[in-house]
Amino acid sequence: MTRLIDLYSRITGTIETKLDGWFLGFLARLAFAAVLAVYYLHSASLKVGDGFTGFFSIGDNAYFQILPSVVEAYGYDASQVPFFPYDIIVFAGTYAEFVLPLLIIFGLFTRLAALGMIGFILVQSYVDIAFHGVDAATIGAWFDRLPNAAILDQRALWVFLLITLAVKGAGALSLDHLLRRRLLLQGTARPAAA
């Protein structure tokens, strides 16, 4: 039995050593790109105008999605919503939905972008529950027999994926790694902690 445990330990230790430093970050970014990036980029595209120049103008739809109760308070006229703080919130939310997924995909400022996405998901979930009036089945419950609720179940997995990136980083196959390496060669950065 001891030999079997020793063999198991050697095999799993070898696998862990070979994958350490690149695999989890790469796999987490790949999963994010495959499952969430297009969802968020599409959602963001619905909040801006059409064409290249439309990217620089926030549409009314952004206000309806991000601040539904505020738009309702102003008679469903987004142009009447005050600049401070509401326009700033909508602007930041819309462009964060574009920028954060791209940073994660390319592995640039990945830890910070992952923390930003976690915050985004928490705010998104709060707005869905408090302002969009989703039902109890959509909200779901943890520790029940149903793993398919759109908010508590699915978004818990999304956040776990992003926590992995925030803790482990993007890995060696990333722009973060290339930048750190370049800074090390120039002597302006400290080596990464093990």
Q: Show the domain range for 112.
A: 2-186
Q: Does residue 138 sit within a domain?
A: yes
Which of 92, 113, 99 is CA-nearest to residue 161? Answer: 113
pLDDT score, position 130: 87
Distance CA 178, CA 151 (A): 36
**Is the link from the previous residue into 85 a cis peptide, with omega within 30 of 0?**
yes
How far is residue 134 from each of residues 49, 130, 141, 142, measured CA to CA in Å? 27, 8, 13, 17
Q: Does residue 194 sit within a domain?
A: no
Q: Does residue 148 sit within a domain?
A: yes
Q: Does residue 92 sit within a domain?
A: yes
Q: Does residue 28 sit within a domain?
A: yes
pLDDT score, position 75: 93
For the four alpha carbons of 17, 18, 19 and 22, in that order, the dihedral sign comes to: positive
Q: Does residue 193 sit within a domain?
A: no
Q: What mean pLDDT, rounded, does the chain reach? A: 92
Give the model's confidence band at 99: pLDDT under 50 very low, under 70 low, under 90 confident, else very high. very high
Using DSSP, state whether 48 is helix, strand or coil.
strand
Instruction: Give CA 139 to chain center in angstroms.
Output: 19
pLDDT digits (tens, 9 = 90+) for 32-69: 999 999 999 999 999 998 888 888 889 999 999 888 88
Structure token pair of residue 14: 């070898």
pTM (2 d.p.):
0.88
pLDDT digits (tens, 9 = 90+) for 148-178: 999 999 999 999 999 999 999 999 999 999 9
Distance CA 165, CA 171 (A): 9
Q: Does residue 192 sit within a domain?
A: no
- What is the number of domains present in the chain? 1
